[in-house]
Amino acid sequence: METLSRPEMEALQLERLQETAEKVYKHVNFYKQKFEELGVTPKDIKSLDDISKLPFTIKGDLRDNYPFGLFAVSQDEIVRLHASSGTSGKPTVVGYTRNDIDNWAEVVARAVVSAGGRKGDIFHNTYGYGLFTGGIGVHYGVEKLGAAVVPISGGNTERQVMLIDDFKPRGISGTPSYIMTVAEKMKDMGINPRETSIEYGIFGAEPWSEEMRHRLEETFDLKAVDIYGLSEIIGPGVSIECHEAQDGLHIQEDHFYVEVIDPKTLEAVAEGEEGELVITSLTKEAFPVIRYRTGDIASITREKCKCGRTTTRMSRIKGRTDDMIILRGVNVFPSEIERVLLQVEDLVPNYQIHRLQKGTMESVELHVEITNELYNEISGDLVHPKIQKLSKEIVKAISSNCLVSMGVIFNKPNTLPKSEGKAIRIIDLREKKVLVEA
Ligand code: DLL
């Protein structure tokens, strides 16, 4: 499947798209109504380009049909339910049939191979187990490959370090931010992360930068690859980088059809151009999704990859449309700020971006943490000339790379919250600020 010729892949995708359109039209009221509103029926899908005739699905549609309104099979065929953490209101719920679970395990097993894993490996899985799709999603894929998964989940980091030291895994998975927390704990416990048995890492579930990859590879002496996915589509495994090229994430196109659109006009953008990813599931039974607007910004390329896979690749996710900060007309994604911060030697790779409101203007404060070495050198004096010099350097680097200016607040070592899963990088203080002023 990963090396089909383009015509073979497209023929398969068309057949599966037609089946999916039929299925949702017949079994999901929401889609039947949407199709009718647009005057389209499944018979109108005669080529892959005809997908543009179909309606989009957005997160709000999942909420409006909470909990099971978008399922296409009867309850007795569902064998698993997952849900988003949902910071406010009701979560979004997704369901799986037995076949869905098998297909999911299959795409994750391929992902582990793509990262450099193989049968017989021991694999340390720090993704959270529970309603979140990360832990159990990766777990089933590792087992399907025939490797031994350690279902450690996130947190209890000291115990994680002990088990890594004792079990000697070849592979590890987790959010890049949590794996950095693990590295720090190792150092505290007198273990050099470079000397552990870990050879490859499968990292994702949150935006991360190329600089974070270098930092992780350098810290652990491993190969780090990016894995992408979202619960609404399946969970982890929609796409994955190969360890051979580490140059874009191969989309598992036999299961997922990816479009890139301009989020304003909703029109397709040209290959290579950035836009919002829109994904249609091609094999899902319980919860098929048509043209789901992910909110994730990336581009795609059909250029050949040196690993031999022929599948379309997507770029690393630049950020989410709803995380984009607009400062005096300039768009900034947190990942671009991360790229700059991680090049500064005296900082640890942990930071927070505080969004503030001053009158009608938005401003941003960067909260960074200095290394123990620097803290000792300046005897804990955070207004030391060395800090002032560093501050100037960072402000200058941000303004030349991101074309905006922002203030930097320096924190003592180990004061910013440490990630145990998806890191919270953006703290939105805008509403509070307005309330205080009122
Ligand atoms: O995060 C699934 C997952 C688990 C992916 C483990 C990879 C590894 P959700 O909780 O539904 O599912 O969150 C999905 O996380 O729309 C992106 O905004 C973001 N995301 C996921 N992977 C990446 C990545 C899982 N590699 C949302 N790079 C998505 C950047 C990512 N953002």
The structural domains of the chain, ordered by start, are: 1-321 (3.40.50.12780), 325-437 (3.30.300.30)
- DSSP H or E run through 425: none
- State in Å: Cα 157 to ligand 1 middle: 22
Q: Which of 206, 232, 274, 335 for mutating ligand 1's site (highest number of atoms within 8 Å of CB)?
A: 206
pLDDT at residue number 435: 44
pLDDT at residue number 167: 98
- State in Å: Cα 143 to ligand 1 middle: 21
pLDDT at residue number 436: 45
- State in Å: Cα 94 to ligand 1 middle: 15
Contact assessment for residue 35 and residue 41, using Cβ atoms and an 8 Å cutoff: yes
Q: Which of 104, 107, 317 for mutating ligand 1's site (highest number of atoms within 8 Å of CB)?
A: 317
Of 139, 98, 110, 133, which is closest to residue 3 (Cα–Cα)?
110
Contacts of 320-323 with CB under 8 Å at 24 or more apart are 320/207, 320/295, 320/296, 321/263, 321/276, 321/295, 321/296, 321/297, 322/295, 323/207, 323/426
pLDDT at residue number 438: 37
pLDDT at residue number 434: 44
The tokens describing 102, both together, are 């098998």
Per the listing, tokens 């309603």 go with 131
Length of the chain: 438
Identify the residue whose C-alpha is closest to ligand 1 atom 16: 230
Identify the residue whose C-alpha is closest to ligand 1 atom 13: 230
| CA distances from residue 302 to 3, 8, 58, 189, 248 in whole angstroms, order as listed | 13, 14, 26, 46, 11
- State in Å: Cα 180 to ligand 1 middle: 18
C-beta atoms surrounding 327 within 10 Å: 17
d(CA 32, CA 65) in angstroms, rounded, equals 14
pLDDT at residue number 431: 72
Residues of the chain with pLDDT under 50: 433-438
Quote the longest CA-to-CA distance of the chain. Answer: 73
- Amino acid 211 reads E
| CA distances from residue 10 to 33, 282, 310, 424 in whole angstroms, order as listed | 28, 12, 12, 39
pLDDT at residue number 432: 57
* Phi, psi angle pair for 165, to nearest 5°: -65, -40
pLDDT at residue number 382: 96
Per the listing, tokens 């309850």 go with 75
- Amino acid 297 reads I
pLDDT at residue number 433: 44
| CA distances from residue 263 to 55, 166, 274 in whole angstroms, order as listed | 14, 48, 10
- List the beta bridge partners of residue 235: 230
CB neighbour burial string for 262-296, b if at least 16 within 10 angstroms, e if fewer: eeeeeebbeeeeebbbbbbbbbbbbbbbbbbbbbb
